Amino acid sequence: MVLAIATSLAACSVSNTAQQPNTTTAQTPATTAKTTDLPLVVVTNSVSCGLASQIAGDTINLKCLVEAGVDPHVYQPSPEDRKAIDSAKLILYGGYDFEPSLIKLVNASSNKAPKIAINEVAVPSPIMTADGHSHGHDHDHDKEEKKADENAKEADPHVWNNAQNGIKIAQAISKSLSELRPDQAAIYSANTTKLVNELEQIDAWIKTQIATIPEASRKLVTTHDALGYYAQAYGITVEGALNGLSTDEQPTPTRVKELVNVIKSSQVPTIFAEVSINPKLITTVAKEANVKVSERELYADGLGVKGSEAETYAGMLIANTRTIVEGLGGKFTPFQGK
């Protein structure tokens, strides 16, 4: 039965990753006669692109390659993406192998413009995982895998899920933009200061929200291992994930069985699906483990589409916190910024 589940899950994953929404994000300004006169800044993922938009406003021609709601792990570049990269005055990409196809394209480009792995600059000491999944307890199988493959550590690229890291990303983006347009540095500094102030408040607010969850219920099981930074920053244990750091991985029968057993033994009240991944992946496991899936999905790999509650970085942090708090039995109180 476990083999059948794994086969079904793999099929679901393949069908989902081929889908890319046509909705244009709020962080992707249309190219007009006005914007074409401005320096082209290419950003590979929606989180960094949203922050760049908030900092730079209309002082640059901003091009976001991976739209909100699309999975960066499996995104395949278009000819237009290649053209944009080759002609950009500044290229900001996530790094830590977050958007592998785009990173390869950026590195292969002969464009001499600055190419900055913004998340690596902002967070130079990432979470390292030895087995591609689990930031929580060391279960027996984790110990065995770590001993067998001690050198196979990889960096967790989902650094923005800690608001303090988001602040560092915003500051790194602001610095890069100021070097591109020194004449606009004062504007970038002012906008970054406002953004940092909001994120500091959200960071403190998240801690108060997580504190409302019963301590025994502060456990996360998700579709893929993207919430490690959130868990580390806000006092939650990641009990397990169906996939590792990348959604491109396919769950093996062994992994499915392990996760079902983890869910049963840890007695998590709810497990979580993600917006950019077909929910059938985790729903099938939930049925086998006899546990419910949250009605609200997590924004683990990027922002929500235009008009959603997570169309900005701040909104994404707030939305994910609401989903986790309500799913794990806490008492959610809406964020009220000062």
Q: Examine residue 219 and state whether it is found in any structural domain, yes or no.
A: no
Q: What is the pLDDT of residues 144-186, one digit of tens each?
A: 444 444 456 899 999 999 999 999 999 999 999 999 999 999 9
Can you give the residue range of the structural domain that contains 53?
19-120+157-200
Whichever domain contains 53, its CATH number is 3.40.50.1980
Packing angle of the helix pair 313-327, 46-56 (nearest 10 deg): 130
What does the alpha-carbon distance between residue 260 and residue 240 come to, in Å, rounded to a whole number? Answer: 9
Q: Examine residue 172 and state whether it is found in any structural domain, yes or no.
A: yes
Say yes or no to pLDDT of 4 above 60: no
What is the pLDDT at residue 10? 43
Q: Examine residue 195 and state whether it is found in any structural domain, yes or no.
A: yes
Tell me the chain's radius of gyration from C-alpha atoms: 20
- Name the band, by pLDDT with cuts 50, 70 and 90, for residue 20: very low
Q: Examine residue 301 and state whether it is found in any structural domain, yes or no.
A: no
Of the candidates 321, 318, 300, the one whose C-alpha atom is nearest the C-alpha of residue 160 is 300
Q: Examine residue 261 and state whether it is found in any structural domain, yes or no.
A: no
Q: Examine residue 168 and state whether it is found in any structural domain, yes or no.
A: yes
Q: Examine residue 101 and state whether it is found in any structural domain, yes or no.
A: yes
Domains identified in the chain, total number: 1
Q: Examine residue 84 and state whether it is found in any structural domain, yes or no.
A: yes
Q: Tell me what percent of the residues of the chain surpass a pLDDT of 90.
A: 65
